[in-house]
A and B are shown apart, each in its own frame.
Chain A
């Protein structure tokens, strides 16, 4: 098996998704099934192929570095789960 339970725990941790221990076995099987199916890509001769990251041939456009919008803190924080005086309230991370 390419993906073992330890890998699933590690990936879930990297993805910041809590996966309960009783889900790990089923997830390991599911992810292995999918990755085994994906393995067929190894058959493709990709020597010399440029990785295709964007189908848009044009380069990224530039614009003047000026403020185009802003000054609406109440709008920006309008959907936040916790705010005080137009500030986001986040858990304490520095002791």
Chain B
């Protein structure tokens, strides 16, 4: 029944509605695919019994005419979302045995709409990383390989498990989170579609916190329409998250396929960075040409503070992380190590429970918040963050959306960048600005490089204007005609 796993989410929901197959059949096909793909290490926990129970319940609902918008569709869940009674680790040792007593709001919304959970997906530890290599459970391997090569490539990070699972047809869609690019960069590296919505669209309640003013949930999916379907369900006000926006969620699918004629599309000159591969510049030019063809007006714009976004991020995010991760003290949950006194117990617990990258970021965050450095670093970074938001405010007086590449390269080899933190951080150079400004950003696959690896384009929208982002993405998807899939080797 491998044909069932090849379906898009929309195709599967239509097939279920037409009674061409049942959710139990659809779910079993995915369970089989997940089992056969353990070599990718995308799932760190499989929940087949629960999946089949949820699928059977879905089939019953459908028989009674009570099917929800995602009813019967098997999905994967990034292991940063708490799932009631199902181990949730953030891919860390410190939470290795943590079993939440509650369900995150985003996943609750998906189950409310009938979706089926296949299991928990691998990620960089506490979502800190761009290659999935900081996971306590080992990295995910990208289903894509370069032409004539067996080299294991990164699926990107931090949502590498989500992206790889969608790319390898191990689920119809997946939840993910994005603090600096963690949805969009893995989507670009795996030929999938990912959207980080406007900050506040999705509730953060029940999502393991990394940097609270930047963290935002979103889907990774096979198509733009599938991403819109998933975001419909994931979004919505939640009184348990004080930053969740109390506004109605539009039906995002209505925007996919809508004409983009007359839209003004910004092309920021500062995103032409030194050393960017010619193929990525070419893809960007293709995107511009496709949108022109579709009737858009292309406008060169300037976002002058772009180059300062990453350094500002590496103050703001670690500062917030050092505060958020202070909760892991070994007393109320998680790992506890022994020590001669309380301080030693804390220190030994956190030394054993956190990986190197997490420790590095906690130390930077502690340093920039410590007495004497707060103004020079943290306050300065927040002011630069204001400048970056102002850059976008200025742009919105001239354009309706912005087109950029998603990442400065295609997927690289596992181990290639892991010894140089700054080289790794530069992966997020095109995505991090939207986190700092709270804007929606979507990545979609638009072409292959000379090695046959997928490359992504990013569309950035005004606050709460995911609708235009989906329309532009739909137009590019149609023009690009990207249908390539990774050749199955796993």
- Point out residues on A near B: beta carbons under 8 Å: 3, 7-8, 11-19, 27, 30-31, 33-35, 37-38, 40-44, 46, 49-56, 58, 60-61, 63, 72, 75-82, 88, 90-91, 93
A61: B residues at CB distance < 8 A: 239, 242, 246
Given A30-B421, A41-B308, decide whether A56 and B200 contact each other with a Cβ distance below 8 A: yes
Given A11-B363, A15-B362, decide whether A81 and B350 contact each other with a Cβ distance below 8 A: no
Task: Tell me the interface secondary structure of chain A in the complex.
Answer: loop
CB pair A79–B366 under 8 Å, yes or no, is: no
CB pair A34–B422 under 8 Å, yes or no, is: yes
B213: A residues at CB distance < 8 A: 53-55
Given A11-B366, A56-B243, decide whether A91 and B382 contact each other with a Cβ distance below 8 A: no
Residue on A with the closest CB to B200? A56
B205 within 8 A of A: no
Partner of A58, one of B245, B305, B322, B346: B245
Partner of B245, one of A40, A50, A56, A93: A56
CB pair B351–A17 under 8 Å, yes or no, is: yes
CB pair B331–A3 under 8 Å, yes or no, is: no
B245: A residues at CB distance < 8 A: 56, 58
Q: 8 more A-B contacts (CB under 8 A) besides A17-B350, A56-B199, A72-B101?
A: A17-B347, A17-B363, A41-B315, A44-B380, A44-B387, A52-B382, A63-B239, A90-B342
Of residues 309 to 361 in B, which have CB atoms within 8 Å of A's CB atoms?
Answer: 311-312, 314-315, 322, 326, 329-336, 341-348, 350-351, 354, 359-360
B383: A residues at CB distance < 8 A: 44, 46, 49-52
CB pair A55–B438 under 8 Å, yes or no, is: yes
CB pair B380–A14 under 8 Å, yes or no, is: no
CB pair A52–B360 under 8 Å, yes or no, is: no
B354 CB, min distance to chain A CBs, angstroms:
7
- Point out residues on B near A: beta carbons under 8 Å: 97-99, 101, 199-200, 213, 239, 242-243, 245-246, 305, 307-308, 311-312, 314-315, 322, 326, 329-336, 341-348, 350-351, 354, 359-360, 362-367, 370, 377, 379-387, 389, 421-422, 436-438, 463
Partner of A31, one of B242, B363, B377: B363
Partner of A38, one of B199, B370, B377, B382: B377
Q: How far, in angstroms, from A90 to B41 measured CA to CA in the complex?
A: 36
Q: How far, in angstroms, from A37 to B312 measured CA to CA in the complex?
A: 10
A13: B residues at CB distance < 8 A: 347
B347: A residues at CB distance < 8 A: 13, 16-18
CB pair B385–A52 under 8 Å, yes or no, is: yes
Q: How far, in angstroms, from A78 to B97 measured CA to CA in the complex?
A: 11
11 A-B residue pairs with Cβ-Cβ distance under 8 Å, sorted by A, are: A15-B366, A16-B329, A18-B348, A27-B363, A35-B364, A54-B243, A61-B239, A63-B239, A78-B101, A81-B330, A82-B336
CB pair B333–A16 under 8 Å, yes or no, is: no
